Chains A and B, each alone.
Chain A
């Protein structure tokens, strides 16, 4: 039997959808017994939400004032202490999980497996390397826990049809004070979330300014879509970093992805490999984005985008 510990991601109040995707990955491991750990200051509501996830045996709720913010150096010793008796410890391949899980693995004396995209056996997994240009099948060593992150875009969230028991627990671990949270600057959230949206409209360097980027926001609003961007658009300051899609940004899997004025560099394409339908609008018919686009339109975005927005509104 595989005893799997999934580390829940949350913002202090709500469970992040990446957790339901980690549970989906855990369910692919043969003979799984899945427990979800919620580390928070007061994690009652989050634990209740986690208990609804299909396939979860129990939720372990570890409340501690020190867990108010997800600081890796504070959480890792607690996760490592809790990991005793588990064969697998999984976290999401989000910035939360990427920060935390390697620290956990190192404390447990094992390597971490990054970005599981499919489960091939109890200790065998596929993961992307070289910005997704190669897929490697890796086998984790026997007799030590598998510590891994799950590539959220490869999994569908499990249903919420469960009511697993919630078990409050305390873990004894020495918590450092050398790392202190100061502040978070988060984007406004009245649009759909980029990581979970069914539709995403992204703009690239071609937009030329943050004022012009409004064209992308208007189109996205007309479609009920989330907004994304290429690295070039973020670097140029047209939009904030949290909108970046790609190898160093978000890896997403919407049903529909519109790439507007984006050339299609491999680092960008890594982020959209799992999209259902890719639409490209670019004035250069030779742009590499057209090689992966399901629907391509060669044209000047400054004409095409307003026309498309108007057509969708009416």
Chain B
């Protein structure tokens, strides 16, 4: 395999307890810690392992996002990616527009494989990889927990509701990473220094000639219904009593 393209989205860190702004205009992101979407980090780790096994020669990380997404791309370079591309946009793009941007980069770079996380933990859409595969006219292997290559084919095990499904796909293809695909490596300090010298290209979104898809409009945001704190019982007898009171036993 020649090149692998990996999508990295900058998102609110998974440890942050996200809050809706009191005026319902959105989610509070000011001063909040930002990170690589955890599923994308797994996607990158997989690409690096494929390259380290000698099955690919180059790993390119791509982000569609704000100027600050360079931080996440630098982290990706420190993990081991060879170069990075930021498609710079002030407004967040929706999944189909993101997929169209990725397709434009696919046409320029001709990768044999694109790996992205199965979902981004901000919008939780779970769409971009499948959409890229659709408009590229190539196979998709979503929710991957194991990937093996054999020449121009890949065998992918997918986590599905009833268990595990294995499919075979022809390359090039899109794989979306699930949590158990691997455990991403930690970045070491010397790698951060080295990453500063790796190429990071910035392309303004307007230069790509991509048509923006009809957008879903967010009208308002609200916090979820809160569950009330319940009662504490002292022992098994108390637990059984409480459940009987509720008609559950």
Q: Is the CB of B124 within 8 A of A114?
A: yes
Q: Is the CB of B232 within 8 A of A111?
A: no
Q: How far is the CB of B61 from chain A (nearest CB, A)?
A: 22
For residue B213, CB closer than 8 A to chain A, the reply is yes
Q: Which residues of A contact B231 (CB under 8 A)?
A: 294-296
For residue A226, CB closer than 8 A to chain B, the reply is no
Q: Is the CB of B230 within 8 A of A110?
A: no
Q: Is the CB of A136 within 8 A of B220?
A: yes
For residue B135, CB closer than 8 A to chain A, the reply is yes
Which residues 105-151 of B have a CB within 8 angstroms of A?
Answer: 118, 121-128, 130-135, 137-143, 145
Q: Is the CB of A124 within 8 A of B164?
A: no
CA distance A269 to B94 in the complex (A): 26
Q: Is the CB of A180 within 8 A of B168?
A: yes
Q: Is the CB of B214 within 8 A of A135?
A: no
Which residues 60-78 of A have a CB within 8 angstroms of B?
Answer: 71-73, 76
Type the 1/0 row for B199-242, where 1 means its CB is closer than 8 Å to any CB of A.
Answer: 00000000000000111111111111101111111111111101
Q: Which secondary structure dominates chain B's binding surface?
A: mixed
For chain A, which range describes its interface: under 10, 10 to 19, 20 to 34, or 35 or more residues?
A: 35 or more
Q: Is the CB of B163 within 8 A of A129?
A: no
Q: Which of A29-37, A45-53, A242-250 binds B?
A: A242-250
Q: Is the CB of A295 within 8 A of B230?
A: yes
Q: How far is the CB of A30 from chain B (nearest CB, A)?
A: 17
Which residues 21-63 of B have a CB within 8 angstroms of A?
Answer: 27
State which of A99, A130, A256 has its C-beta within 8 Å of the C-beta of B12. Answer: A130
Contacts A138-B218, A295-B230, A295-B231; A128 near B243 (Cβ below 8 A): no
Q: Is the CB of B161 within 8 A of A106?
A: no
For residue A112, CB closer than 8 A to chain B, the reply is yes
For chain B, which range describes its interface: under 10, 10 to 19, 20 to 34, or 35 or more residues?
A: 35 or more
Contacts A95-B159, A307-B236, A308-B236; A247 near B216 (Cβ below 8 A): no
Contacts A128-B124, A128-B224, A133-B17; A73 near B96 (Cβ below 8 A): no
For residue B85, CB closer than 8 A to chain A, the reply is no
Q: Which residues of A contact B125 (CB under 8 A)?
A: 102, 112, 114
Q: How far is the CB of A36 from chain B (nearest CB, A)?
A: 20
Q: How far is the CB of B159 from chain A (nearest CB, A)?
A: 5
For residue B68, CB closer than 8 A to chain A, the reply is no
State which of B18, B135, B155, B228 has its C-beta within 8 Å of the C-beta of A106. Answer: B135
For residue B20, CB closer than 8 A to chain A, the reply is yes
CA distance A167 to B20 in the complex (A): 47
Contacts A105-B96, A114-B124, A295-B243; A181 near B161 (Cβ below 8 A): no
State which of A11, A129, A279 has its C-beta within 8 Å of the C-beta of B123. Answer: A129
CA distance A178 to B43 in the complex (A): 22
CA distance A125 to B220 in the complex (A): 11
Inter-chain contact total with CB atoms closer than 8 Å: 257
Type the 1/0 row for A89-115, where 1 means its CB is closer than 8 Å to any CB of B.
Answer: 000001110111011111101111111
Residue in B138, B216, B230, B237 with the greatest tally of chain A CB atoms within 10 Å: B216
CA distance A167 to B79 in the complex (A): 55
For residue B166, CB closer than 8 A to chain A, the reply is yes
CB closest residue in chain B, given A18: B161
For residue A41, CB closer than 8 A to chain B, the reply is no
For residue A297, CB closer than 8 A to chain B, the reply is yes
For residue B76, CB closer than 8 A to chain A, the reply is no
Q: Is the CB of B236 within 8 A of A103?
A: no
CB closest residue in chain B, given A308: B236
For residue A278, CB closer than 8 A to chain B, the reply is yes
Q: Is the CB of A136 within 8 A of B218?
A: yes
Q: Is the CB of B216 within 8 A of A138?
A: yes
Q: How far is the CB of A307 from chain B (nearest CB, A)?
A: 5
State which of A141, A297, A312 has its C-beta within 8 Å of the C-beta of B235. Answer: A297
Q: Is the CB of A139 within 8 A of B160?
A: no
Contacts A94-B161, A129-B123, A178-B139; A106 near B130 (Cβ below 8 A): yes
CA distance A112 to B95 in the complex (A): 8
Which residue numbers of B lie inside 8 Å of A, CB to CB?
12, 14, 17-20, 27, 94-96, 99, 118, 121-128, 130-135, 137-143, 145, 155, 158-170, 173, 178-180, 213-225, 227-240, 242-243, 246, 248-249
Given A130-B18, A235-B180, 19 extra CB contacts under 8 A = A73-B140, A99-B140, A99-B142, A102-B126, A103-B134, A111-B216, A114-B124, A114-B125, A128-B224, A133-B18, A134-B224, A176-B139, A178-B173, A180-B167, A181-B165, A184-B163, A185-B163, A241-B159, A295-B230
Please list 16 pairs of residues, one from A and one from B, whose beta carbons are closer than 8 Å in the complex, sorted by A's number.
A72-B130, A72-B142, A98-B143, A112-B127, A128-B224, A132-B224, A134-B224, A136-B219, A138-B219, A179-B140, A182-B168, A267-B14, A291-B229, A294-B246, A297-B234, A304-B236
